[in-house]
A and B are shown apart, each in its own frame.
Chain A
Amino acid sequence: MFKKILINISLVFSVSAISLNAFANSCKGQVDEINVLIQAHPAMVHMEKHKADFEMLMDLKVNVTTLGEQERRSQSRVDASTGAGGYDVYYVDEANIAEFVKGDWVESLDKYYPASADMTDFQEGKISIGNINGTNYFAPFMGGQDVLMYRKDIFEEKGISVPTNTDELLKLAESLTDAPNIYGWAQRGQRGSGMNVWRWNPYHRGFGGEWTKSDGTPNINSKEAVAATEYYMKLFDYAPPGGRAGTWSDQIEAFRAGKVAMMTANDVFGAWVEDAEKSSVVGKVGYADLPSPILSGGFAHGLAISKPGTSSECEKVMAGELIGWATGKDMESMRLDEGIYDIARKSSASNPKFTSLMPADFNDAVRATSPKTSLLIWKIPEWPAIGDELGLVLEELFTGTRTDVQGSLDEVQKYAIKYLEKYK
């Protein structure tokens, strides 16, 4: 016990003097296990598959808890806010990183990310999502931006070209719909983080909507937000049944089943639609820039050190080591070897293993939408609650249990003002 305390004290005082690798060596054997909370994402499943490598390297046990996306968010928030500290490492994303930093629930990663893992190699668009006031709080392992995915076989057969603006998109979605065989469009309707608001946002922001007015007050019920909602609702007329309350999974699966002619989706789903084992449209999909003025919603998911879960310096060091290992260059390369498309590093983007995974027009589409990509959700700690309210009201509008778009957004505006005032 005394030895442990001495080691901890010496580690704290020498943090700036020695390298993290030396730290990690000093901490070997001092930490019995690391608990990691993840969601079932291919990159994370891959990490869990290879965790024995890290266990052997650091002489500890890695316990992985895997949950669904929404459940992972809830569980990490409860664990952090109550100080339960059941996990040393959290899976965090663009939706909750601001809240976790404001709550002082995650540790600065700048201090604990191993130098050998090279934090400077992360793509700016992805690492910046976990950067608050100049401090990095997470190391991304995936993220992305939107592209237009369309059935090039159908487009060629009908002799039509990809839509370049929202008017053309709407007309094309209508003309391509031949229910119940094929639907012109697919999008998300269900509320919840990563669901309808994420896909509605590119229209809202693309039509000129902003989250706040010039005086900093909420601006959720703007005329641009109304126009975006009405446009989004029209698109549902050409989407598969069930889409109005559908999830991202419903959207992608309908496309993979060959039931959908077009959709905007995150580039990470490119590998999903080109997966020969699960997709019936392999080789039939074209990729293009987004119709104007739709913007591209950037996002990133990463790993962060839990403050409540790491009480000792060695636990923080080991959590940092695990994150460095899981998000390192070697790991990304291994993922590419196994056909897992998730990357977050500059070095991987030019890796032939990555560029050869997808068709050439996919890489062109990604390049084309890069300039119009940014984090479109409101990056404030209050976002989870405000975004949830907005998502609920949108779902009600989509499914017809509400009809007044302006009145509904006015309600969300009131909610946002009240909520921000309450937690000022």
Chain B
Amino acid sequence: MKRNHFILLCIIPSVIILLAVVIVPMLGAINYSFQDKSLRFLEGDYIGFQNYIDMFDDRRFINALKISLYWEIITVLGTLFLAILVSILLFEYSHKKYRLFIAVILIMPIMLPKVSAGLIWRFMLSPVMGLINAPLISLNLNPIEYLASPKLALLSVAFVDIWQWGLFFGVILLFLLETLPRDLIDAAKIDKVKKWQLHYFITFPMLKGSLITIFLIKAIESLRSFDLIFTMTKGGPGITTETLDLYAYQQGIGLRGEISYASAMSITMVIITIIIFTFIWKRTQRK
């Protein structure tokens, strides 16, 4: 068998699977997005770009775009910050003998399905019966409405996301720090550089590639936040935590059943994501 034939033979099954699970549904969604189908009436007419035009006159869509952007920024930067902080603290202050044990504890949150994590935190943050508010109530103070306050809800859900991913990536960064050449770190310590200087100027620049990878992984992962937000707030209070995927669900599968409109939103989301990630990817490659 010729080499090229062998390569083709290896690639074809993956391409077929890719076509079946990605391209076909995507084409179906594109087709739906140009019609006016709903779950009540599956026989739709083609209406051109009307669904796409309607989106920009839809306050919930504009709001969902904004919330999705906030969500991305808060969760990605928050995760990176926590991961770096945890890795430095453990690298500097934990005894090597106990690191594995600590790492196991820290990766536990990521092992929880998002739905479970969402439910656990929803109860913990409850103003009436939650553990987090218990100290305030015991002091006869009014509890904090973490999930019912329009100002706090998005931050509270983002906190749970960062708690899950930040600790996990912190452990990964810790083990990456351990793989760096010791002589550089020892030389810096002999020169009496401060701890923050060591990491700011030496270790983390050496881990730049890994940090970019973590950044991209988390940015893509944050787009898939539906289950956590749905479990904790269902997009509320009002629409203050309603991201694009959640809104598309509410419109398409939820009580509205507007599947063509929801498809148009999903396609728009895919296009925006591709543009943004291509831009980020090019920027990181250039450097």
Contacts and interface: CB of A to CB of B under 8 A. Distances in A.
B83 interface: no
A242 B145 contact: yes
B253 A242 contact: no
B141 interface: yes
A242 B257 contact: no
Contact of B147 (A191, A245, A253, A254): A245
Contact of A259 (B128, B141, B254, B257): B128
A392 B239 contact: yes
Nearest to B258: A385
B126 interface: yes
A134 B126 CA distance: 46
A402 B60 CA distance: 14
Contacts of B258: 385
B147 A242 contact: yes
A401 B141 contact: no
A415 to B, nearest CB: 11
B140 A180 contact: yes
Q: Which of B136, B149, B236, B239 has the most chain A CB atoms closer than 10 A to its own CB?
A: B236
B238 A396 contact: yes
A344 B42 CA distance: 35
A411 B257 CA distance: 20
Contact of B255 (A179, A190, A246, A384): A384
B39 interface: yes
Given A73-B255, A191-B236, A257-B129, A241 B143 contact: yes
B127 A245 contact: no
A363 B287 CA distance: 75
A6 B254 CA distance: 41
Across the A-B interface, give the 8 residue pairs with the lowest CB-CB distance, nearest first: A399-B237, A241-B127, A396-B238, A388-B255, A245-B148, A245-B237, A401-B238, A81-B39
Contacts of A246: 148
Interface of A: 70, 73-74, 77-78, 81-83, 99, 102-103, 179-181, 189-193, 240-246, 250, 253-254, 257, 259, 381, 384-385, 387-388, 392, 395-396, 398-402, 423
B93 interface: no
Given A240-B127, A253-B129, A385 B257 contact: yes
A381 B148 contact: no
A103 B128 contact: no
B199 interface: no
Given A83-B42, A181-B140, 13 more contacts: A73-B255, A81-B257, A102-B40, A180-B137, A191-B236, A192-B234, A241-B128, A241-B142, A245-B153, A253-B128, A385-B258, A387-B255, A400-B150
A245 B233 contact: yes
B147 A180 contact: no
B263 interface: no
A70 B39 contact: no
Contact of A381 (B40, B126, B153, B256): B40
A147 B212 CA distance: 59
B98 interface: no
Nearest to A393: B238
A61 B42 CA distance: 32
